Amino acid sequence: MRPELRDLWVYLSTSPLLGLTLTLLAYQMAHALSVKLGGHPLANPVALAVALIVAVLTLTGTPYAAYFEGAQFVHFLLGPATVALAVPLYGQWPRLKRLFGASMLALAIGSITSVVSVWFIAQALGATGQTLLSLAPKSVTTPIAMGISEKIGGLPSLTAVLVILTGIIGAVMAPALLRAIGTRDHAAQGFAIGMSAHGIGTARAFRISETAGAFSALAMGLNGVVTSLVVPVITDWLS
Amino acid sequence: MLASITLLLVFQLFGEIFVQALGLPVPGPVMGMLFLFIALVIRGHAPVPLRETASNLLQHLSLLFVPAGAGVMIHAGLLAREWLPTLVALVASTAITLLVTALVMRLGAREQ
């Protein structure tokens, strides 16, 4: 590398500009590719963008922490976006009142199912202590899951990755699975997606319909609360 | 739009303060969502600028998960060692949770 070029790289790599720009560029390329593939569930924009970013960071020898300096501005928007979910949710208020009983039942059973099933399957296949603890809160939204993981002795940053993987897996599988069991009601579809695949699932559910998205957001929010109460009890009892 | 963004941040802040003050295990933004939802129910309608801002922000919800997702590179070692149990558990458990929740929701809706 020529000295001027290296100076430029050193300067740029210390500013948040690169990380932020890389995030937006990678996402838009991933999004365009996903649209080109007809929105096929396998072409998940989060997975594609992450793969692209990890490739660029690895090739340029950039540590994740340096990248996150810039990417944190995008990451921060998760907070206000979570609050904003109240708006589509309010749009479903009449429907929500009608389905209140069913939602509460699905919430309780779904939350326990998620924690217990991931624990037993991973343990049966030989996963060890810290991986198990980091897996337990996998179905809830990233910030809640990280908090739970820390509380029970898992690795919060590993949990963040497992949560995002779960979201991608859920978003990819949901349409086919729901079709297979013949669940056509958008409220039930959305609720199941939000329970199993949190925010990434919710982003997918909004592509099905406004109703599916709102119910997914509802399930995600409620599941966050219930799972943070359920996980410490269940993991304490299982381990 | 500026007013709506401020409103979202104010609700997030309320959520954070509430959670910290009571030592709840729930994140502030989720509590903020609950507060905003209650406020909208009491008010009886959602103002148009707020609806537009929320819809703009949520249109690219997937983007917001990308920075945390790229964190996969720090855990490459641990994931490489236990990738099989981890992946199988994630896929199977996510499918089971999705199916169980959808079926309970359908049964419950039929009962009502």
Q: Could you say which of B54, B99, B112 has the minimum Cβ distance to residue A88?
A: B54
Query: What are the structural domain ranges in chain B?
Result: 1-59, 72-112
* Closest CA–CA distance from residue A129 to any residue of chain B (Å): 11
Domain end (from A76, A111, A137): A76
Instruction: Clarify whether residues A60 and A145 are in a common domain.
Output: no
- Cβ-proximal residues to B17 (8 Å cutoff; 6+ apart), any chain: B28
Instruction: Clarify whether residues A167 and A218 are in a common domain.
Output: yes
A136: left (phi over 0), alpha (psi -120 to 50) or beta: alpha
CB within 8 Å: A87 and B99: no
Residue in the block written with tokens 């992946």: B87
Instruction: Clarify whether residues A111 and A229 are in a common domain.
Output: yes
Instruction: Clarify whether residues A147 and A108 are in a common domain.
Output: yes
Check if A42 contacts B (Cβ < 8 Å): no
- Whole-angstrom Cα distance, residue A142 to residue A171? 15
Which of B13, B86, B96 to substitute to test the interface with A, most A CBs within 10 Å? B86
Domain end (from A37, A61, A76): A76
Instruction: Clarify whether residues A101 and A35 are in a common domain.
Output: no
Write down the pLDDT at residue A11: 77
Instruction: Clarify whether residues A199 and A157 are in a common domain.
Output: yes
Domain end (from A48, A76, A104): A76
Residue A134: Cβ within 10 Å count: 30
Q: Taking the model in full, what pTM does it have?
A: 0.82
Instruction: Clarify whether residues A88 and A176 are in a common domain.
Output: yes
pLDDT tens, residue order, chain A (239 aa): 677 777 887 777 778 899 999 999 999 999 999 889 877 777 888 889 999 999 999 999 999 999 999 999 998 998 899 899 889 889 888 888 888 889 999 999 999 999 999 999 999 998 888 899 999 999 998 878 887 888 888 888 889 889 989 999 999 999 999 999 999 999 999 999 999 999 899 999 999 998 999 999 889 888 988 898 899 889 889 87
Check if A51 contacts B (Cβ < 8 Å): no
Characterize A52-67 residue by residue with b for buried, 16 or more Cβ atoms within 10 angstroms of its Cβ, and e for exposed.
bbbebbeeeebebebb
Write down the pLDDT at residue B18: 95
CB within 8 Å: A78 and B64: yes
Residue in the block written with tokens 């994931």: B79
Give B-chain residues touching A197 at CB under 8 angstroms. 94, 98
Domain housing A133: 83-238
Instruction: Clarify whether residues A14 and A110 are in a common domain.
Output: no
Q: How many domains does chain A have?
A: 2
Residue A5: Cβ within 10 Å count: 9
Burial environment of residue A237 by CB neighbours within 10 A (0 to 12, 13 to 18, 19 or more): exposed
Instruction: Clarify whether residues A134 and A216 are in a common domain.
Output: yes
Instruction: Clarify whether residues A18 and A41 are in a common domain.
Output: yes
Q: How confident is the model at residue B112 (pLDDT cuts 50, 70, 90)?
A: low
- Whole-angstrom Cα distance, residue B16 to residue A143? 12
B7-62 per-position pLDDT tens digit: 999 999 999 999 899 987 677 888 898 899 999 999 999 999 999 999 999 888 88
Instruction: Clarify whether residues A107 and A205 are in a common domain.
Output: yes
Instruction: Clarify whether residues A118 and A174 are in a common domain.
Output: yes
